Amino acid sequence: MTHQPVLSFTERGIYCGAGDFYIDPWRPVDRALITHGHADHARPGHGRYLATHTALPIMKHRLGNIDVQGTAYGEVTQIGDALVSFHPAGHVPGSAQIKVAVDGEVWVASGDYKIEDDGLSEAFEPQQCHHFITESTFGLPIFRWKPQKQVADELNTWWRTCAEAGKTAFLGAYSLGKAQRLLRMLEGEIGPILTHGAIEGSNKVMRQQGIELPDTALLTKDTDPKQHRRALVLAPPSALGSTWAKRFGPAESAFASGWMQLRGIRRRRAGDRGFVISDHADWPGLLSTIKETGAENIYVTHGYTDIFARYLGENGWNAKVVPTEFGSDDDEAETAAAS
């Protein structure tokens, strides 16, 4: 019998022959295991879905009426000849690395992940394995994140300064994950927080599943700016600078993303300010994780794949670039616009 790899990379997505299922497939399949609810990983049209309990509400919210089953972190499920378990990836609430073991050979598909505990998502837990599938959204040595506390201080100082100057603070962030993480970093006593509808939709789902978020008010076309002095408005980046924003009079705008690390992108995208905060691992985070897995075989899926894989190869790993169709949500938008 020829040896089949536990996971293989197909046109539909990452496939497990032993269990006849796919992980985050981008074409419709019968059985899909989903790492997290971002649109490039959880796509519509599959027969059956499996994801963590925490990820389910947002998936149902976004994908509608799907046939979905939940699993607890660490719980081992047998699918065919494969033993499958989900482990925290620290990316957004409910996000998971998916571990697949067949005859003692262990593979981990990490989806998207970050190392720092953001206080919102289940904290990342590195998994021992033989084969590790990693992202490389920020797989260059120019990307190193500051601790969240420090960014929170910068953010609140900016908001306070805006409020004291009589300006509304517009903060652009992606609606699922990043927005809620920011909400929990903001100091509520500075002023009221208004949210754009796309973000309030995710807020509602998370509040219902018991995730605590500060009070927010939904921004509508009837919102009277005069009733919301000192406000911070949280909105998807695409909504910044649109006509409704102009009603607020004097304002400053900022954008929160890992890409704000680069001055060129900051000036192109950010308006007045850029806050460097990402839900993806930075360079040291990627490297330390890869070391901790103990894996010898690394598959690099999206981001600066060629460069990152070459570096790993020079440092003793057996590293390959694997083409995927991930990378069109949240922080990956900069490369998504470009990949």
Task: Report, in Å, the least distance between residue 263 CB and another protein.
Answer: 6
H/E/C letters for each residue in 137-179?
A: CCCCCCCCCCCHHHHHHHHHHHHHHHHHCCCEEEEECCCCCHH
Binding site for another protein (CB under 8 A): 140-144, 261-265, 267-268, 271-273, 304, 307, 310-311, 314, 334, 337-339
Q: Of 207 and 310, which CB lies nearer to another protein in the complex structure? A: 310
Task: Report, in Å, the least distance between residue 267 CB and another protein.
Answer: 5
3-state secondary structure (DSSP) of residue 206: helix
Q: Of 98 and 173, which CB lies nearer to another protein in the complex structure? A: 173
Q: Of 22 and 283, which CB lies nearer to another protein in the complex structure? A: 283
Q: Tokens standing for 151? A: 């960014």
3-state secondary structure (DSSP) of residue 310: helix
Q: Which residues contact 65 (CB under 8 A, 6 or more apart)?
A: none
Task: Report, in Å, the least distance between residue 99 CB and another protein.
Answer: 30
Q: Of 63 and 152, which CB lies nearer to another protein in the complex structure? A: 152
Q: Of 218 and 265, which CB lies nearer to another protein in the complex structure? A: 265
Number of neighbours of residue 148 by Cβ within 10 angstroms: 16
E strand residue ranges, the chain: 7-9, 14-16, 21-23, 31-33, 48-52, 68-71, 76-79, 82-88, 96-102, 105-109, 131-136, 168-172, 193-195, 217-218, 232-235, 251-256, 273-275, 297-303, 318-321
Task: Report, in Å, the least distance between residue 30 CB and another protein.
Answer: 29
Q: Of 160 and 310, which CB lies nearer to another protein in the complex structure? A: 310
Task: Report, in Å, the least distance between residue 93 CB and another protein.
Answer: 29
CA–CA distance, 164 with 158 (Å, rounded to integer): 10
Task: Report, in Å, the least distance between residue 148 CB and another protein.
Answer: 15
